[in-house]
């Protein structure tokens, strides 16, 4: 039959030259693309055979075969799928510009500059041309099911290709690559080596539906030996497990199989805490198998940590760590998402804008949170272990995931003064609130001990009012960002006024406070003037029962701890002065009031006021503005007592 020679179009030549001159550092993906194309061809044949009884195609043993010849340095990827006609070859293989090559080239240049070129190779149906990364010549032999004649397509990628009609050819498609010499520096491996082929198949194509077979070197030796002895030749080895566990129902898969897959994906040594299976059907179909780890990875808070789940399209691995599918506050979740209709366009930038990816992102986040909630009620021990390890990360979602904020608050639990061991949920806190209590009270700090011993806790402890104990750094941020829970506002006991009285008690307390204010008016005004550089106000406290003084922030001000967090991140917030509260029932404060009333010009009094303020700062764990002066004042007072 005559052989026709064609020229590639300009854009096609540009693409081939980029492929040939190693635009991709990871050249292994060429085999992923060829196997993916072969799998699609097998899928199409199976569907076509069901539709057309007269097709006459053999569908008894659909498979993909790999044949590596070390001496000839060739690798063949063969399938017995739908195949292509002569016109299909010219239309689909010869003229790739119709698949959007110009757009692909533009994105490829941008991705190359950004170091993300590997993510684009499956885009626009040009995966076949990745063969030229590793081959000096590519030959394709194909015959469409139901037709008599076949077609051979050959090219070195230099500008032309030939198409020849064959009288005989097996059904399906065989692509033979004449491989380039091995070059370790250029990441060009020996793709005739069985171990390398197995490695690539295991990584990218392990869950392909169809068997991927290859006769390995060991089997060839066995075949020769058995042939000499008159025995039967060894069967080719199936390289892929074909166990797409996410595509099987839960009762068909053992926990051991799930655990094995989790360890393979996460490189973790321990079994997962929870297994989450998702199946979405309808206009957009996908399946997911997610895992909640039993302990956090070492790089959970590292900026360069790898996060996300594996993204498959029709059981072909497209991306190892697809960040766009899982929100950052669930970055510990591992697993697999397999989409049926998603384009192979896997640019990370484009994925973040893809409507289908966004839809999966929302559904997967909701499913994970629903599982945590179900775990809390049905498996409390598992929940306790999970929240202990990952609760501080999940709470990050309260700052950014507004759609799921209520769901996050529903699964969150917090330490509180109600029980020294058992944490509580906000719903449980609200159920226990005292009659007349208007707010959910909390305090943030470095440790439970520091919070429990804080002067701010004194009146709450005396009146038996429960306080949430929040010690995670993220607690400083989210508590001021969330709306009221069940109509109850979250309020810090270290900010604003402590209004703990209700009913008749409130009226009596108000009258008593007014009387006290009149008695202490002179002292409060004087101290406010003396400490004006450090505090915005000096007032009497309703939260202190034992300590002489404490420092609180105004209701709308940023706390010192939050200011320190922003400062550590390189963001300086305006410094706001705080409020000094005095306990009128403390002998030291009462003595200072009398001393000021009797001898307002006593030079010792300003030092006493400074000491009182410094003691309040130290009691809450804050730093002194001038530690040396504070120490000197203390030393002088102690000296006079001896």
**Could you give the CA distance from residue 273 to residue 292 in angstroms, rounded to a whole number?**
5
How many CB atoms neighbour CB 486 within 10 A? 12
Residue 79 known to bind ligand = yes
CB burial string 5-30: b at 16+ within 10 A, e below: eeebeebbeebbebbbeebbeebbbb
Crossing angle of helices 587-598 and 604-620, in 10° steps, is 160
204 Cβ contact list (under 8 Å, min separation 6): 28, 29, 31, 32, 35, 316, 317
Residue 125 known to bind ligand = yes
Decide if 247 contacts 287 (C-beta within 8 A). yes
Specify the 3-state DSSP secondary structure of 444. strand
Give the closest residue to 582 by CA, choosing from 532, 642, 513. Answer: 513
**Could you give the CA distance from residue 368 to residue 436 in angstroms, rounded to a whole number?**
37
Residue 104 known to bind ligand = no
User: Which phi-psi region, left, alpha or beta, contains residue 608 (left: φ > 0; alpha: ψ -120 to 50)?
Assistant: alpha
**Could you give the CA distance from residue 51 to residue 489 in angstroms, rounded to a whole number?**
63
Residue 85 known to bind ligand = no
Residue 345 known to bind ligand = no
**Could you give the CA distance from residue 276 to residue 293 in angstroms, rounded to a whole number?**
11
Decide if 238 contacts 213 (C-beta within 8 A). yes
Residue 547 known to bind ligand = no
Residue 209 known to bind ligand = no
Residue 8 known to bind ligand = no
Helices (H), 80-216: 86-88, 101-113, 194-204
Residue 189 known to bind ligand = no
Residue 403 known to bind ligand = no
Residue 87 known to bind ligand = no
Residue 424 known to bind ligand = no
Residue 503 known to bind ligand = no
Residue 28 known to bind ligand = no
Count how many residues are written for the chain.
642
Q: Which residues are annotated as a binding site for ATP?
A: 33, 37, 79, 84, 99-100, 123-128, 173, 348
Q: Which residues are annotated as a binding site?
A: 33, 37, 79, 84, 99-100, 123-128, 173, 348
């Amino acid at each position: 039959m005559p052989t026709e020679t064609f020229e590639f179009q300009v854009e096609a030549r540009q693409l081939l030259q980029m492929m040939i001159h190693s635009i991709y550092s990871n050249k292994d993906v060429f085999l992923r693309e060829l196997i993916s194309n072969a799998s699609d061809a097998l899928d199409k044949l199976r569907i076509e055979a069901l539709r057309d009884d007269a097709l006459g195609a053999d569908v008894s043993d659909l498979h993909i075969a790999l044949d590596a010849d070390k001496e000839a340095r060739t690798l063949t990827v063969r399938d017995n799928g739908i195949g292509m006609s002569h016109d299909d070859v010219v239309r689909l293989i010869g003229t790739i510009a119709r698949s959007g090559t110009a757009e692909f080239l533009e994105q490829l240049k941008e991705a190359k500059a950004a170091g993300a070129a590997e993510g684009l190779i499956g885009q626009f149906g040009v995966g076949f041309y990745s063969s030229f990364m590793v081959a000096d010549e590519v030959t394709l032999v194909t015959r469409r099911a139901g037709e008599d004649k076949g077609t051979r397509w050959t090219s070195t990628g230099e500008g032309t290709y030939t198409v020849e009609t064959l009288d005989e050819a097996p059904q399906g498609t065989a692509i033979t690559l004449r491989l380039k010499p091995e070059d370790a520096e250029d990441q060009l491996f020996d793709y005739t080596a069985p171990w390398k082929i197995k490695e690539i198949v295991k990584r990218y194509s392990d869950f392909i539906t169809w068997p991927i077979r290859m006769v390995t070197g060991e089997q060839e030796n066995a075949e020769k030996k058995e042939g000499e002895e008159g025995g039967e030749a060894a069967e080719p080895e199936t390289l892929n497990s074909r166990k797409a566990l996410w595509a099987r129902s839960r009762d068909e898969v053992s926990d051991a199989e799930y655990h094995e897959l989790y360890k393979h994906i996460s490189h973790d040594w321990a079994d997962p805490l929870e297994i989450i299976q998702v199946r979405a059907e309808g206009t957009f179909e996908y399946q997911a198998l997610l895992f909640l780890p039993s302990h956090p990875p070492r790089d959970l808070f590292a900026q360069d940590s790898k996060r996300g789940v594996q993204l498959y399209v029709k059981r072909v691995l497209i991306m190892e760590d697809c960040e766009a599918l899982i929100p950052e506050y669930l970055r510990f979740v591992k697993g697999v998402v397999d989409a049926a209709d998603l384009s192979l366009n896997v640019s990370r930038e484009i994925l973040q804008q893809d409507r289908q990816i966004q839809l999966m992102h929302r559904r997967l986040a909701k499913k994970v949170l629903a599982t945590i909630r179900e775990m809390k009620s049905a498996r409390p021990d598992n929940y306790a272990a999970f929240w202990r390890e990952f609760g501080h990360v999940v709470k990050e979602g309260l700052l950014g995931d507004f759609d799921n904020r209520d769901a996050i608050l529903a699964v969150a639990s917090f330490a509180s003064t109600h029980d020294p061991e058992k944490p509580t949920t906000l719903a449980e806190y609200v159920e226990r609130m005292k009659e007349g209590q208007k707010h959910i009270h909390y305090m943030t700090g470095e440790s439970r001990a520091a919070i429990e011993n804080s002067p701010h806790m004194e009146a709450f402890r005396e009146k038996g009012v429960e306080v949430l104990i929040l010690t995670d750094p993220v607690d400083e941020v989210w508590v001021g960002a969330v709306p009221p829970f069940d109509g109850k506002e979250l309020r810090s006991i270290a900010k604003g006024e402590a209004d703990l009285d209700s009913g008749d008690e409130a009226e009596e307390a108000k009258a008593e406070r007014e009387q006290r204010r009149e008695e202490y008016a002179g002292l409060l005004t004087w101290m406010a003037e003396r400490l004006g550089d450090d505090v915005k106000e000096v007032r009497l406290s309703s939260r202190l029962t034992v300590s002489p003084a404490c420092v609180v922030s105004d209701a709308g001000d940023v706390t010192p701890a939050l200011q320190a967090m922003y400062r550590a991140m390189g963001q300086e917030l305006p410094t706001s002065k705080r409020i000094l509260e005095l306990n009128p029932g403390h002998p030291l404060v009462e003595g200072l009031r009398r001393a000021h009333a009797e001898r307002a010009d006593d030079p010792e009094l300003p030092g006493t006021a400074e000491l009182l303020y410094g003691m309040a700062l130290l009691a809450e764990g804050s730093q002194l503005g001038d530690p040396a002066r504070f120490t000197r004042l203390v030393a002088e007072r102690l000296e006079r007592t001896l």
